[in-house]
Every structure is written in structure tokens, then in C-alpha cells.
A and B are shown apart, each in its own frame.
Chain A
């Protein structure tokens, strides 16, 4: 369909239809969006329609649409409002109706979905950024060295005896070239001489390391999920090390923390608790007796309860499962298994559970719903639907039973049902609901009301008035709903489990221990979000939960924010948790960003509910761009998480049930939330350590490499004479020193992976780019310069004394001197890498010792031949002559030892006097074999014991509900209520 975004005008047939937007858990239920168009039921009729639609400019908010349609009908104009309920979003799927007529209002990039889609931007890791700043520093060093050399050269050459002594004449050409030109060419020559200080090969090695290293994530058995046969997937290898830097985790809820699979567990009917056992409702404490006992003996209350569950919902039956030819609404031949589709997984689970225990919802026909109770079909005429809204926290249907009775069935949060009930086992049910909640179930109460014909007439009249009202329609509808949903007779309550994924609690707790702040961003409604948040350990019992919800105006929102900030300041002992909803958030972000950020930063857990996809991305961006510039990670499974995944520094897709859009747009994809801990604490940590050392080491070794050349200029009249042979200059970074660091950066494990995973605290050691900060950078740079000085002056003192170093009295030349410095350098630099390596596989041994051996073999070979194509034979037998000198051997050993000596002393002292926790872990894991006690997470067990108690708050006293927005919800408070 080319029209992607339409106001629905003419639904055909005039039945209930709905569109499941697989984006959010919301269903647009519409009858006829604009009643005047209901007669236009064919294409021909449609021609006669003359109407004008006015609507707002394209906007990203999925829940807002303001427009109106002006229909010209028989010389008069009828104006009808158009709201979000008359809008089909791009990607919506048509169900239970063959066709609809509509008008496209936004197309292409202007559709709301497209506006919510963020274009993928290049992500660069923090390591890369600091690498670039290091590079700038080195560029400055390079320029400084080149300028200094040039200036000194001219200062030196002011005297002619140095510029052109008799033994070293210039050509005519050199003598006559212009001074400025000579100056520039000298400067450029120095730049060329020193350019190796900029490690070009660093970029090649880093890319190689990232590409090869990323394979280990996909190969990891611990990240393989057997049930779904999914291994971890790496979509970009640029961000491996960023996994070790995460400070904020933004997670979706449904499908990410939970399995997105609701399961009916328990219910309470008429004050008796039931459990589902083998497809039967079994009262609690009632042993399972005869095999087909209960089925024909459903009590009256039970049946009514189940019917209420079956009727009061918005579930659809999948069209594929029913007979397509007759249309799904001729409910005759129902297939054995019905497939239900619902935007709310809770409702689906309930209807499914009811069908298992004997009351089957078989579909809707026209305006009636069909229910098969114990095999006996019954037809209920659907009179009204009182839609769910978050303020009422309930929904109702009014139906006409086959016997002609008008019944109201209501289902909703216990806080909204129980106070409105006048009969039924209210007290017992409340106790049961609390018990369900304690078990971590999502609870709903079910009630009904019987209307007398007079009552129904009034209800119908009032409803009609409210629905057709042009002004203040919402308020009036709310009033009418309140009028209708009262004097209820309580039927019971249900307990549905939204199964949490495995080990979500442990993972979140571990993330918190690692110093990572976890934000849950969900499109779900407030209560659901909070209850899941509590059950998954995101919110603790000990936390002081602050709320910022349902603010419609800027001023109240600001006021609330200020109060929250004050509360936090007054009480900084307790941890705080914050609940924000989408509308309040957008208000808070519009004007009070700073205040909001301050509140957020002081909260250890934040829950944002009712979030539109772009809002999720906005929250991520807000955090990302805050002054501290924390590294953010977003994890989600659905298309609605895509923009957040793309916005965050690291985006992780969960391979869940909601398609692969999140996976496609993510940087990494894993099968389960729990894998995050291994991904961050082990892989992230390793990659960070590896690449940080790699980067620092590369700068270090190039400083070592080029500084002696710079120093040599002071001895050769700044004549740009190279110290090393050109082949050595080329091969230093390519052959002699490249492999040990590459292998290190692929295999290094400075701490055992189990230790890293079981001690998330170690993650704090590398946070804030700790290994690439200014201090470590300075350390490595100074070390590089220091080593370079030792190489150069060590060799100088040995050879510059101009005594023979050979037993036969012969002398060495400049190339031997350069080769000595180079040999010492290759060995020292390789040994320095060896000192940094904590994990020596055979490959490490091979490349480390192999590099040194290769250098020797290569030098012998290179110096052993008169190379026919080379211009000069400077290196002929230089290396052999060097090695034939005993003094040279002793000097090499001494300089290497002296270089590394200070480094080792520094390491040992730091380790002893102020060890980091990583170093402690190294020592610890060395001494003690990994025992269970060590792996066990102390704080986690504590948290778990508290969890069961926390659950109670969501079902706490309904009379407290008004205070919620201001309230601190520790259980103590609610108890005093």
C-alpha cells in the first residue's frame, strides 16, 4: 500500500476491527471513525464523498494526532474531529476485515514511524577519540622537534666552517638555491625524518585487532542460547572496547527483561484461591481427585468469572486459524486450537487460560461475541466498550446475555476495582491479590454488575451523550464511566506471570555493582513497569521511590522536580529510584533539563514508562550530551527500541520475538539479557585493556624509535642524517615489533574471566577510560622518551668514547652505532610488551621470542649480501661485526636491563603500596583456586531476600494511591496510610 499513514474513514464491514500495531502494545479500536461516512461502503459510493481534511504538520509523537474533517453533504458542512484513534500508522497490519478505505495524510519520510526512525550515524568509541587527541599531541611534538631542529641547524650553520667545511663541499646548485626554499626543504626533511613518531601502523593494527578480536564474541559458548539456537552476533567491530566503558544502561522492558510471555498462574474466585493444574482449575489445598472431575462441575461463580474473563477484553482471533471462506465471524466450525492475538499479553494469557479450563472465546460476529462454555456455544451481544485508560486503570464491556440480561464486566487494577465493589468477597480477594503480588504476579480484579432495564436505559443515554459531545468529551466520558462502573459485584482476581528472563536480577545487580546505572525505558504503563522493575531487582525494597508522573502542565512538573531534588538532598543515605512517564519527561526535558538531570544523577535506578521510541532516544541523547559525557548502552528487542539503540554509544539487540529490526540496527546482538554481564564484564573489560595497552604501547614504541634519531641530530650538525638504515626504518613497525602487540591485543587476559564476571566491581577499575587518561598517557610517553635516552646515550657512552670495541682493535662506524641502538630498541620494546603480558599462550611465546630471533636472522641475512639493486651497501656485515664484539653484547644486556629495571620497580611498588582491585584480583586468583564462596555475590543474596517483600507495594492500600505522585513508597509509609 503506498499510503502509509491514514485517517480511517470508512471501516468495512461495520464491525469491530482493530489494528495491531506491532510497534507498541496498544490497540486502536475504532468503529467508524467518522460516522457520516459509514454509508459509503463501496468504491463507487466513495466517489460521492466530498470532504476536506485538515491536520497538523508531521510530528514524531505516536500518540498525538490533531485534525478535522469537513464533509460537504447536501449543501451543508459537517465538521468532525480526528484524533489518534482514527489514525493507522505505517506498518500497521489489517486484521479481521478484508478492506478499509482511508486517506493518506502523511507519506514517506513524513510518516510518524519514519520520523521516529533515526538515521544510523557513525559511532566512534571513546578509545578512538582519545587516540585522536594523543595523535594531536604527537603531531605537536613532531612539529616542535622539526622546528627546533631547523632553527638549531641554522644557528649552527651561521658559521661557515660548519656549513661548508673544506671536506664537505656543496654543489653549485645547493649553494645557489634560495634561502627560504632551503629553509622549507630543511623543515620538510626533518618532518620526514621524525614522521615515524606518528604511528601510522597503529590504525592498521587497531583495525585488525578489532576485526579479529570481535570473532571471540560470536564464538563464545557462554553467549550461545541453546533454546533459540542463537549465538551472539557482532554487527560492528568498532565498539568492542566501548563495552568496557559503559556507565549507563538503558534497557527496554518487555522482551528484554521479560520473556514477553504471559502465563496465567492463579486466580481467586469468590474468595477461594485456584490454581491451574493440568488444564483444570483446582481450588487450593484441594487434591486432584477424579480425572475428569471438575470439568462438568464448574460452579456458578466460577463460570461467571471465566465468562467475564472471556468477554471483557480486546483479544482477536487469528484469521488464519479460522475458516477463511466463510469469514471468521461465522463461529460455527471452530478449529481445535484457536490462536489469539492481543496487544496486551495479559489479556491473551487470561483468555487462553479460560479456554483451557472450559470457557472458550471463539470470536466476534458482527457486534456479538461468541463464547463456548463447556462445549455449549453462547452468544453475547456487545453493547458498549468502556476502553482502558491509564487514569481509571480498568476497562469494561456491557453485553447482553443470551437471556437478555444487560451485564457490565469490569477488569482492572485492584486499586480501581475494589473500592467500587459493594459485594462479593472483597476482603478475602484483597488478601489473595496481595499474595499474588508477593509472588511477583501481575494482578487484575474482575467484577460485574447487573443492570435493570431502567438503569441500562440511563447508562445508554448518558454514554451516547458523552460520546457525541463536542466539547470536553474526555472529561464527560470519564464522568459517565465513573457513573457506570460502580456498585460492582466482585467476582475475583487473576494472577498472571510475565516471566522474567533468567538471571535478570543477578545481571542488574551485577551491573549496579560495576558502577553502571540502569535505566528502564518502556512503552508500558506505569504500574506494569514499576511491578516488573521491582521483580527484576531494578528497584529495591530499600530504595526510596520518587515519582514524576502524569504532569500535564509545565509548572506542576517543575514544582515536583524541585521537591524531588529537595528530598534527595535531605536524604542521601537511602538509595533513590525515580519513575517518570513520557509526558512528564517531555515537559521536564523542555524547560528543566538541568534540574531533571540533577535528580536523575542522584537516583541509582530510573524507570521511564509510557515512552515513545523517539523519546527513548532523546533520553539517551540527554545523558550522552550531559557534561560528564558518560558512555551509554541501550538494549532492546523491538522496532521501538531501534532509535535508542542507534542513539546510544553501544546498541545491543535482543534476538527476541519481535522481529529482527532491533538486531539489524544494533551493534551487538545477544539472545538473552543475562548475557550482558559476560559481554560487558569479560569481553568489554578484556577488549578495553587490550586496546588501551595496544594504543599506549604503539605510541611508546614509536617514541622509542624516533627519539634517538632526534638526539642524533645534535651530533651530526642537524644534517638530517638518519641513525638507522632505511630498511630498518621501514621494517620496525611492520615486522620487528608488530606481532607481539597484535597477539597480545587478541589474547591478553590479565585476570581470569570467571573472576571478572563474578566480581563486577573490577569493572570500575577501567571506567572513565582509565587506561587512556592523561596520566597513563604521560607515563607511557615519558617512559618512551626515557627508554630512548637510555638507548641513545648508553650506546653513545659506549661508542662515542671512541675506543675500539673489538678484540682486534678495529673500529666501528656510524651504521654500527645505529644498529646497536636499533638492536637494543627492538629487544627492549619487545621485552616491555612481554612485561605487560599476563597471559602467555604458546602463540605469545612464539611471536615474542620469534620477533627477536627474526630480527637477528633478518639482520644477518640483510647484512650478509651485497644487494645488487641497492644504492649503497652501508649495512654490509655491520651486524656481524657488532655481534663479534663482546662489549656490544654486554652493552645490549645492560641497556635492556636498565630500561626495564625502573619499570619493574615502579610496578612492584605500586602493586604493594596501592594495588588496584584488578591487581588484588590477580594476586587473589593466583593464590586461591576459584571457590564457590568466591564466586557467590554477597550483595545479590541480600537483594533477593528483600525482593519478595517489595512486591507488596504495588498492591498496597488503594487509599494511598492519590499520594503516589508525591510519595515515597517505602513499605513503611504505605503501612501508616
Chain B
């Protein structure tokens, strides 16, 4: 700042200087990085991006291609059953159907079995909110306050456990897989548990506290479309029963789109199936309960392996390759333009 002595004290007292501070902040002179879109940075970033995307893309395509997947639409193949289910009065009549398929090559590694639904709008707003997370946490929550209606209570006032449209419409087909080996039929061992998110199974879903499960759910009733109450979902396994039943938890995670699949079972890798599913003839035996014809839906059963990036989804790999190509091409185009412009300039200078 200016030397103070340059202001001689005038008229007795000097006015306080209103001179602003000479700080970098106040003078808008903070040290700053000023990136420039120079030709070097632009081109190098384009080529680098291009190379990176191409590389990742190729890797992703390769790994996605190594995934084996078999998808079988059984909504038509079990047409008798589906006709039966069209009439809701037949709800307690059992209906089974079998679907045969052959594996020319064995599916190696972990094999996951999914069920897939089409045209089932789980993402409808009225459906999405129709649940009571407090109830599913095992708390004695007032489900009247939740958005479970019209699946909250029965006419007589008995609350439904679990309440809401999501729980009520739970997928209830049972699918078993059989391996036909030399005219003998071997049931493929399938794992019911470990298919849901760990946090859902252990934190988000809790059974009400009681000495046993049926007493915990005393005073409640099953949802109207269920065939058995919630505490009988898996009678064999205490830790897979009630609200913490894996199939139930998975169903409760609402899908984003009308066509979706949920993990149903995993192949237990023992005996013949230690390496996965060997080649041969297989049969799905399906207990057909879930009606889809009314909303023109379809049901699938899917067998799939996964890699680190998940199931077989070619999109990511292709998208990377396309982006990488575009970036590289743009790099070349810009180089060409730059060279042309520079030539022009030197031309004019001459």
C-alpha cells in the first residue's frame, strides 16, 4: 500500500482511508488454473478417451459373450393351466405342467435360475407405495396409516400380514428342475436362500418377536391371494420363513420396468452338478399358480451364468466400442481441420 506519510494529517484529524484491501480475494486475483482447449490437450484427450473406450468395450463384449443363458417362455406351453387360472374361482385347484429342454453343452460355473414376467407393471405408483416397511421390520405398526389399501384389512377388521398390493400379488409358481439321465430322473438341487440382498434379509426385513413364528403372526391373516399364511412360506427353514423368506424379499423389491426377472434359485454345486449343469435333457416341473393372461403377461424361466459384470448384457460393451470409435474419429477430423487451417495460414502469410 501507499506510504502513509503521503497523506499529511489535514485539519487536525486524518480521515480514515476507505482504500480497499489489496488482498487477492477482494481484487479477484486469486491464483487460478486457466485450462485452455488447445489443440494438443483436445487431441490427446480425444485419442486417450477413444483408446480407453475401445479397450474397455472389447473386454466387456468378450466377458459378456462368455455368459450362457437359456430362457424359456412357459406361458403358452402350460396353456391348460393358464386357462384354469383365468377364472379366479379355481384358485385352490392345483395345476402342474412340465417343460423339456436339452442342453447340447453343459453350463459351467454358478448357474442362476430366474423367473421373468412381462407386462407386469410393478412400477405403477399405486403399486409401488402399497407396502408397509414398518410392518416388514417386525414392528407393531399401524398399517392403516400406510398406503396398503385396499389390501390392509379384511371386512371383519383382521389386518393382513404382510399388507399391500405388492405382497398380495407375490409370485407363487414353484419351479423345479430335473435332470434326465439315462431314463432316471434326478432332481437338480437348488438353493432357496442367499438370493436376496444381505441387508434386506438381515436388517430391512424382520419377523415380529415371539416364541414361535405362528404366534408372532397371531391376530393377522394372509393376504387374499395367498394360499398359505406368511409363517408357512418355508416350513423347513426357520430362517427363511415369515417376512425373511428370500422369495418374498426379492418380490418386495419392485422392478423398474414392466418386463423384469427376479432371482429364484441357484444350482447347488454338488455331485453331478459340481461344475454346473452337464449336457443332457432337462425338465422344468412347474406348479402353475400365477395368472398372467388377464393382463396379457408372459412368464419365463431363465437359466444363466454370470461374470464379474453381471449377466449377458451386450449393451455396455457395444456402447463403449461406439463411443471409443466416435472419439477416435473426432480426433482424426479435428487433426485434419487443424492441419488444413494451418496450411491456409501459412499460405496467406506468403
Contacts and interface: CB of A to CB of B under 8 A. Distances in A.
B259 interface: yes
Interface string B134-158: 0001000000001001110000000
A803 B34 contact: no
A926 interface: yes
Contact of B313 (A230, A798, A808): A798
B34 A926 contact: yes
Interface string A199-232: 0000000000000000110111100101001110
Given A170-B150, A841-B32, A901-B323, A891 B316 contact: yes
B134 to A, nearest CB: 8
Contacts of B313: 798, 801, 803, 805, 887
B2 A716 contact: no
Contacts of A871: 133, 146
Interface residues of B, number: 98
A935 interface: no
B210 interface: no
B226 interface: no
Interface string B271-304: 0000000000000000000010011100000001
B30 A841 contact: yes
Interface string A825-850: 00000000000001111111000000
A192 to B, nearest CB: 12
Given A809-B110, A814-B122, A804 B27 contact: no
Contacts of A722: 125
Contacts of A812: 253, 256
Nearest to A167: B169
B266 interface: yes
Given A873-B204, A907-B37, A169 B165 contact: yes
A181 interface: no
Contacts of B37: 904, 907-908, 911
B309 A721 contact: no
A963 interface: no
Given A719-B125, A887-B316, A897 B49 contact: yes
Contacts of A873: 133, 137, 204
Contacts of B75: none
A802 B27 contact: no
Contacts of A872: 129, 131, 133
Interface string A797-830: 1111111111111111111111000000000000
A230 B21 CA distance: 13
Contact of A912 (B69, B204, B334): B334
A794 B310 contact: no
A717 interface: yes
A876 B204 contact: yes
Contacts, number: 264
Nearest to B146: A871
A816 B255 CA distance: 9
B161 interface: no
A806 to B, nearest CB: 6
A894 interface: yes
A167 B120 contact: yes
A286 interface: no
Contacts of B254: 813-815
Contacts of A815: 254
A221 B19 contact: yes
Contacts of B33: 840
Contacts of A880: 199
B21 A219 contact: yes
Contact size class for A? Answer: 35 or more
A287 interface: no
Nearest to B326: A901
A890 B316 contact: yes
A722 B262 CA distance: 22
A817 B256 contact: yes
Interface string A896-934: 011001001101110111000000001100100000000
A296 interface: no
A811 to B, nearest CB: 6
B20 A719 contact: no
Contacts of A753: 28
Contacts of A859: none
A887 B314 CA distance: 11
A866 B137 contact: yes
Contact of A886 (B18, B259, B309): B309
Interface string B336-350: 011001000000000
B34 A716 contact: no
A872 B133 CA distance: 6
A719 B200 CA distance: 27
Interface in A927-971: none
B19 A802 contact: no
B263 A220 contact: no
Contact of B26 (A219, A747, A887, A908): A219
Interface in B219-244: none
B256 A170 contact: no
Contact of B255 (A717, A801, A813): A813
Contacts of B259: 800, 802
Interface in B139-197: 146, 149-151, 165, 168-169, 195-197
B82 to A, nearest CB: 14
A816 B250 CA distance: 14
B260 A811 contact: yes
Given A872-B129, A911-B37, A747 B255 contact: no
A809 B149 contact: no
B334 A231 contact: no
A810 B60 CA distance: 19
B123 A715 contact: yes
A885 interface: yes
B35 A838 contact: yes
B257 interface: yes
Contact of A747 (B28, B36, B294, B320): B28
A125 interface: no
B126 A894 contact: no
B89 interface: no
14 contacts: A162-B121, A167-B168, A167-B169, A168-B124, A219-B26, A715-B257, A719-B124, A799-B257, A802-B255, A803-B304, A805-B313, A807-B308, A810-B195, A926-B38
Given A843-B30, A873-B137, A926-B36, 11 more contacts: A169-B150, A169-B151, A716-B258, A801-B313, A805-B311, A807-B310, A840-B35, A842-B31, A844-B32, A886-B310, A890-B56
- Can you list the 9 inter-chain pairs with the closest CB atoms, starting with the nearest? A803-B311, A167-B169, A817-B256, A219-B26, A814-B256, A719-B125, A721-B125, A809-B112, A805-B310
Interface of B: 2, 15, 17-22, 26-28, 30-39, 42, 49, 53, 56, 60, 69, 88, 110, 112, 114, 116, 120-131, 133, 137, 146, 149-151, 165, 168-169, 195-197, 199-200, 203-204, 250, 253-263, 266, 291, 294-296, 304, 306-313, 315-316, 319-320, 323, 326-327, 330, 334, 337-338, 341
